[in-house]
Structure 1
Amino acid sequence: MGEVVATLKIMPESPDVDLEALKAAIQAAMPAEAEFHKIEEEPIAFGLVALNLIFIIEDGEGGTESTEEAMAQLADVASVEITDTRRLM
């Protein structure tokens, strides 16, 4: 099997969330099977900024589920959603 690069949009609960602390918590919560690549900020509206977590994982059944579940459990996270997956060549 190959590898997949996935993007997970993490929406904070409010514009008041400390994004730097949330970024550190995201990196600490990464499951062992997922390889952290980077986090990009995406302005949404009214001061709310989503974080796009880009990570690499083995291509297989349920590949991104453990990462989605780990991020959804973090404090100050309202929602998580996979927005992109691409096979690495």
Structure 2
Amino acid sequence: MTDVLVVLKVFPDSDEIDLDKLAEEIGKRLPTGYTVVRKDTEPIAFGLKALVLYVQMPEQTEGGTDVLEEKASEIEGVSHAEVVGLTRLGF
């Protein structure tokens, strides 16, 4: 089975949110088979930054990337999360 790499942008509630702790919490709540392989930040405005996570997950997943967005959005301190990229790994 092939995996996919999902680019997930997570928008915090405020600029006081610790993005490293947020990334750790999201990583803990991911379903089996999902792995955070990289994390970055991206400036939004007025000192606010978005957390950008690169998550490897199985391609044939029920619900697709919706599950990933939902899990991240449920965490305290997250305004919302959205998938901004997707690519297949391995051919």
TM-score, length of structure 1 as denominator length = 0.88
Structure 2 CA distance for aligned equivalents of residues 86 and 71 of structure 1 = 20
* Aligned equivalent of 1:80: 81
**How many residue pairs were aligned?**
89
TM-score, length of structure 2 as denominator length = 0.87
Q: Is the 8 A contact 2:27 2:35 kept in 1?
A: no
Structure 1 gap segments, 5+ residues each: none
Give how far 1:38 is off.
1.5
Query: Superposition RMSD on alpha carbons, in Å?
Result: 1.4
Structure 2 gap segments, 5+ residues each: none
Q: Is the 8 A contact 1:57 1:63 kept in 2?
A: no
Q: Is the 8 A contact 2:8 2:81 kept in 1?
A: yes
Fraction of identical pairs, as percent: 35
Structure 2 CA distance for aligned equivalents of residues 21 and 3 of structure 1 = 26
Q: Does 2:30 correspond to 1:19?
A: no
